[in-house]
Copies of this chain bind each other. A is one copy, B any other.
């Protein structure tokens, strides 16, 4: 038995477009097993989502889950976003960490006053390239090369077990990280919502400045999102840069 992990209310489990109601239920049950309470579901397949939510014995966590239209909406409060991905299929653009190294990273973020999200893709295809551009890092569950792809409910259980067991609260295994216990307002990490605002402002500037041909805009937008996450901006710095780009955009238009 373990108490609810410290800061467990600072971690949101995000399921992107889950299909199978059994998997949704299993993910929610694993959250209850390991003491996590914040679930967000992005663009679920409506009939299955209703079915999962109204199932007899559906855990509390499922009944109070947030339903979001976009991944950006689900992540808006989060300053650290970790995506889960079967990496065999694509070359990752973010740092990849093993699940065994995730607990100290989250602990560090929580100690700074941040909020984190752990994002799981749909059963068949996993997270898309666009989904991944919202992530600061990718988490790899160490699985066998012969059968790397896990069932969604089992993947959620394994990740939350690891975080609860390598507790977010105990001093265990936070090697090399000396995190302050009290949040430091000055170093609070920028939230995903702030980074999205900033990316938009930069986009508008790039467009107004005719930085690149129209057909490159989507690729640029993607690259900017990734870049902003690599910078690990503090919230005040993000606001400063946002002010600058808004000013530039206004200038370019007038």
Contact = CB atoms under 8 A, between A and B. Distances in A.
A225 interface: no
A169 interface: no
A38 to B, nearest CB: 15
A14 to B, nearest CB: 19
Copies in the complex: 2
Interface stretch (A77-85, A150-158, A230-238): A150-158
Interface residues of A, number: 37
A146 B29 contact: no
B154 A2 contact: no
Nearest to A161: B158
Nearest to A144: B35
A33 B153 contact: no
Given A161-B141, A161-B162, A162-B161, A150 B33 contact: yes
Interface string A130-160: 0000000000111111111111011001100
Contacts of A88: 1
A22 to B, nearest CB: 7
B165 A1 contact: no
Given A153-B151, A157-B158, A161-B162, A143 B99 contact: no
Nearest to A158: B161
B29 A154 contact: yes
Contacts of A26: 151, 153-154
Nearest to A98: B165
A146 B32 contact: yes
A73 B88 CA distance: 40
A34 B142 CA distance: 8
Contacts of A30: 150-151, 154
Given A29-B147, A147-B32, A147-B59, A142 B164 contact: yes
Nearest to A31: B147
Contacts of A59: 147
A218 B147 CA distance: 45
18 contacts: A1-B140, A1-B145, A2-B143, A22-B22, A26-B151, A29-B147, A30-B151, A32-B144, A32-B147, A33-B144, A34-B144, A35-B146, A142-B161, A151-B153, A153-B153, A157-B157, A158-B161, A161-B162
